[in-house]
Amino acid sequence: MSMKLPRLEPGAAQSIDHRGKATPMRCLLLVGVFMFFVSGCFPQGDRWTAARPQTAPANGRVTYRDEPLAGAIVVFQPVAPGGIGASSVTDSQGRFQLSTFPPQLGVVPGEYQVSISKTGPPGGSAGDENPLGENSSDASIMVVSLIPTRYGFPTKSGLTANVPAGGTDALVFLLVD
């Protein structure tokens, strides 16, 4: 289907009615106005970061049966009501660095109850960093705790920590059966 456009004579003034039609200039103007209003609707990093409580570095290590516990999830739950928790995953040497506001490291100073968990397939070893193996997509969905389950509950683990305002590198959790 072809559309015939009116022929314009050189030097002749023409009036074209654009009412209700989306012209490139109108689209550009509409996008510009939209971006102007939306730009103030999203959180600015500095404003939100400034409202956060101060954090301090909190690092440590976890062992199970006197061996580093790799790939374990460490969670700090604040004792004070309304507090903010922190978490980390241990590396191959059982070391961890807590974070309350990822990706920044650090935890709000205070008293914490601690939970540590490590899961894997039945018969897996707590010493494995990736207990599901290299082909974890082929692994069974069934997983079990590779350390005593009590450590996975902050109120039952018996693990506590105090993080001073200056931070600490001395958080050590020695897990046993």
In a domain, 41, yes or no: no
Averaged pLDDT of the chain: 83
For the record, the structure tokens of 91 come out as: 């590396």
CB 93 within 8 A of CB 61: yes
In a domain, 170, yes or no: yes
In a domain, 117, yes or no: yes
CATH number of the CATH domain containing 146? 2.60.40.1120
Domain of residue 131 covers 53-175
Selection from 127, 174, 118, 124 nearest residue 148 by Cα = 118
In a domain, 47, yes or no: no
Pairing of strands 119-120, 144-145: antiparallel
Residue 106 Ramachandran class (φ > 0 left, ψ -120 to 50 alpha, else beta)? left
More confident residue, 23 or 172: 172
Number of domains in the chain: 1
CB 60 within 8 A of CB 105: no
The DSSP 8-state label assigned to residue 161 in this structure reads E
In a domain, 32, yes or no: no
pLDDT digits (tens, 9 = 90+) for 63-75: 999 999 999 999 9
